[in-house]
Structure 1
Amino acid sequence: MTDKTIADLIEDRFGLATDDGRDMPAEGELAAILRHRSHRRFKPDPVPDELLRVVLAGAFSAPAKSDLQQCSVIVVKDPEIRAGINALVAGQDWVPGAPSLLVFCGDNRRIRRIAQARGKPYPNGHLDSFLNCAVDAGIVLATFIRSAEAAGLGCCPISVIRDRIEEVSELLGLPDNVFPLAGMGLGWPAREGWVSLRLPPAVTVHTDRYDDTALLEEIDGYDRRREARFSTPADKQRMTNEYGVAEFYGWSEDKARQYATPQRKQLARFLNSKGFGLD
């Protein structure tokens, strides 16, 4: 039993005072979701195969668009394949330290093969097919995180594998109409981690119509709340050669710098080569 309430957890997550959930104890699934934190440092202990299968069973209990179930997961066990992926994402130095590595894939191949086996046409090989399986895989990935945390494990998605999507696909033997959405480092957390401050609901939640009139002032407030909690040291600022060392380096400055250069421009070409129509 805890004296904390859901309101306390919301305040911790957003850095804003609220009475929402003040009468709700900080217990159960909702509290666990609000306490979520990513983990990039793990103990060396392996994740037992049985436990991994249990966590995956939880992940694949996620909702699926039209019951199509268009996600597949590759559990990377082969040391050579693991080493190859580690090398491709060398900028993420925590990945080799994760006892388990998984790759979540959007899988439009199954429904195409089923249609062929049942003697039916598949006239839907356009952009919506890609979106459907990408969203399915994303929901399974998010549910995997919840399942893993419920079992006491820690994890963190690895989107950087899409920087090297061709090589990752080749290493994993992915056929046409299957693509890697994200990797996942999994293991027993070596430390507690911290709650990452999120954008305020005033920015992310709209009623009836989209309205970002107050966006910049809300972002400024968020930047300052976040910087007060976790200040970015000068040596962690991005692209200082181009933009210098900022006296105040908030979340918005970091993200603006992060996306100031082109990223993953090869994705459309790769997806087309894998049989996804993007029209």
Structure 2
Amino acid sequence: MSTISELIRQRFGLRESEELSRDAASDDVLNTTIEDLLNRRSIRRYTDEPIANEVLDTLLACAQSAPTKSNLQQYSIIVVSDVSLRQRLAEHCPKTPQLTTCPVFLVFCADTRRNQRVAKFRNHNYANNNLDGFVNAVIDAAMAMQCLITAAESMGLGCAAISEIRDRIEQVSALLELPPGVFPIAGLTLGKPAAPGFINQRLAPDIVIHRDRYDDSGLETDIETYDARRHAIFPIPDKAQMHTDKYGTA
């Protein structure tokens, strides 16, 4: 088992000579959940091994155990098993080839429709059809997805969240027969890893974590440092970069 210090160095791309902004003694609190979270990575290649129904049901129960605003549970999860439907969805997600081959494909949706219907058939006015209700539904769906990811990874499975389904959201919604008030926030591919993937370096905590007040006064220097650090560990191939004619290469 790795130490927390080792995992944090790996996550942020820190060399052994660089000091951590934390107390190494807290390595004593390392457990499998913390190790899995610090060690997590997206997995996009899967074996052909199927996921048992009881395993998937357990993972979905974990998703439904996520925190939810006022217990309103404003999300729905579409389990896409139909092969032809996956193929049609894949036509709108050309950058996600694993969509048709992964053992499990899920679509997480924000769902403001359900509570509107409940209000209607109980003869109440629905007063939350506003921006706050929209944001709450998106957050509910996102937290449900993250709970499922954490549970899946604890079982040795791999996942990759798929934002591409929103690129053609009208077509995807039509294929999934999503009614008004229900919209996809992300897809999720899931299966037994065929390759280990890699840990992607995150922004330094000093960029993301603020104490008592927001302060980005050092952002320009911090981003330059991050870019150089990440490029040294995992340079993005030129062919994988978009719009290089306009923005140049990283």
Contact 1:55–1:151 (CA under 8 A) maintained in structure 2: no
Partner secondary structure for residue 48 of structure 2: coil
Runs of 4+ in 1 over 4 A off after TM superposition: none
Corresponding residue of 2:158: 154
2:194 to 190, 196, 199: 190
Match of 1:110 among 107, 114, 118: 114
Shift in CA distance, 213/19, structure 1 to aligned 2, threshold 3 Å: closer
Q: Which amino acid aligns with 1:238?
A: M
Q: Match of 1:142?
A: 146
| Residues 117-153 of structure 1, C-alpha deviations (whole Å, 9 max, x = no match) | 2221112211111111001001111111101101111
Q: Could you tell me which residue of structure 1 aligns to residue 182 of structure 2?
A: 178
1:28, distance to aligned residue in structure 2 (A) = 1.9
Equivalent runs, 1:1-279 vs 2, <5 Å: 2=1, 4-16=2-14, 17-18=19-20, 20=22, 22-23=24-25, 24-25=27-28, 26-244=30-248, 246=249, 249=250
> Are 1:6 and 1:21, in contact at CA under 8 Å, matched by a contact in 2?
no
Q: Secondary structure at the match of 2:127?
A: coil
Query: What CA distance in whole angstroms lies between the structure 1 residues aligned with 2:66 and 2:23?
Result: 26
Q: CA contact under 8 A between 1:40 and 1:156: conserved in structure 2?
A: yes
Query: Contact conserved, 1:105 with 1:180, CA < 8 A, in 2?
Result: yes
Q: Distance in 1 between matches of 2:86 and 2:105?
A: 8
Cα deviation for residue 173 of structure 1 reads 0.9
**Residue pair 1:98, 1:187 contacting (<8 A) in 2 also:** yes
CA shift, 1:116, in A, is 1.5
Shift in CA distance, 21/53, structure 1 to aligned 2, threshold 3 Å: farther
Residues 229-277 of structure 1 show CA distances to partners (whole Å, capped at 9, x for unaligned) of 0112222222123344x3xx1xxxxxxxxxxxxxxxxxxxxxxxxxxxx
TM-score by length of 2: 0.93
Gaps of 5+ in 2: none
Indicate conservation of the 8 Å contact 1:88/1:161, yes or no: yes
Deviation larger for 30-39 or 93-102? 93-102
Quote the offset at 1:21 in angstroms: 5.3
How many Å apart are 1:207 and its aligned residue? 1.1
Deviation of the 1:45 alpha carbon = 1.5
Letter in 1 for 2:74: Q
Say if 1:158 and 1:183, in contact at 8 Å, map to a contact too.
yes
Which letter maps to 1:15? G
Whole-Å separation in 1 of the counterparts to 2:65 and 2:23: 28
Q: Considering only aligned residues, what root-mean-square deviation do their CA atoms show, in Å?
A: 1.4
Question: Mean alpha-carbon deviation: is it higher for 107-116 or for 180-189?
Answer: 107-116
In structure 1, C-alpha distance between the alignment counterparts of 2:21 and 2:215, rounded to whole Å: 24
- Native 8 Å contact 1:157 1:182 kept in 2: yes
Letter in 2 for 1:9: L
TM-score where L is the length of structure 1: 0.84
Name the CA distance, whole Å, in 1 between partners of 2:60 and 2:213.
37
Deviations 1:184-228 (A, max 9, x none): 111110011111100011110111111110001001111111011
* More relative contact order, 1 or 2 (CA 8 Å, 6+ apart): 2
Cα contact 2:62–2:148 (8 A) shared by 1: yes
The 1:7/1:82 distance shift into structure 2, 3 A limit, reads: same
